[in-house]
Amino acid sequence: EKIAESQPKNLAYLKLAILNECRSIAFPCISTGVFGFPKHKAALIAINTVDEFLKSSAKNSADYLMKIV
């Protein structure tokens, strides 16, 4: 299923953001337009990935977290 495929990629993006000391990161709802991937599933992927990432380590902290769905 696409959710299982997307989560590892999103986790990799979050790790890269930390390594590069990024102050913000966004997960656009790719494939929800022309390709028809359900928007609610795309939002769940992003939300669950960020939650899992922040819970996984004390190093993976955020000063501010905004979830827009």
Residue 1's pLDDT is 47
61 in helix, strand or coil? coil
Computed over its alpha carbons, how large is the radius of gyration of the chain?
A: 12
C-alpha–C-alpha distance, residues 69 and 42, integer Å:
9
With both helix axes pointing from N to C terminus, report the angle between 39-56 and 2-19 in degrees, rounded to the nearest 10.
50
pLDDT exceeds 60 at position 4: no
Residue 2's pLDDT is 52
Residue 34's pLDDT is 85
Cβ–Cβ < 8 Å for 33, 18: no
Which band of pLDDT confidence, cut at 50, 70 and 90, is reported for residue 5?
Answer: low
Please tell me what DSSP assigns to residue 29.
Answer: -
Instruction: Supply 26's token pair.
Output: 């966004």
In tens, the pLDDT along 12-69 reads 888 888 888 887 877 777 788 888 888 888 888 888 888 888 888 666 666 666 666 6
